[in-house]
Amino acid sequence: MDKIYSKGCRIEETLKILGNKWTFLIIKNLMGDKLRFNELLHLLNGISPKTLTERLRSLEKEGIITRKIYPEIPPKVEYKLTPKGDDLKIILDTLNQWGKKYI
């Protein structure tokens, strides 16, 4: 087996960050847009608020998204991709092309 696919490889490490059920769908929805929590919740049909919160926190911790809080009542919070998150576009484009070809 090729060294890049061995135990502890970069693919395995990457999937630890991005492999959760909703992660790529969150990233897809943030491509080119900044969105508020409720907008994401609405776009991700079936995700619970708790799960969305967990995924957003994880992505923020990894430096893939940023969270901007506006000092308003009620508080306004927007999420957007960082340059690190923008770099995932090529992966999403490749997944989209694969899906068009085989699904």
- Per-residue model confidence as pLDDT tens digits over 25-71: 999 999 988 999 999 999 999 999 999 999 999 999 999 999 999 99
Give whole-number Cα distances, 65 to 34, 55, 83, 102, in Å: 10, 10, 9, 30
Cα separation, 86 vs 69, in Å, equals 21
Beta strands across the sheet bearing 76-81: 35-36, 76-81, 65-70
Report the relative pairing of strands 65-70 and 76-81 from DSSP bridges. Answer: antiparallel
pLDDT(5) > 80: no
Between residues 102 and 13, the one the model is more confident about: 102
Q: What is the mean pLDDT of residues 89-103?
A: 94
Write down the residue that tokens 């991700």 correspond to: 44
Confidence of residue 77 (pLDDT cuts 50, 70, 90): very high
Beta bridge partners of 80: 66
Rounded percentage of the chain residues whose pLDDT exceeds 70: 92
pLDDT at 3: 57
- The alpha carbon dihedral of 8, 14, 20, 21 has a sign of negative
Tell me the pLDDT of the chain averaged across its residues: 91
Contact 55, 49 (CB under 8 A): no
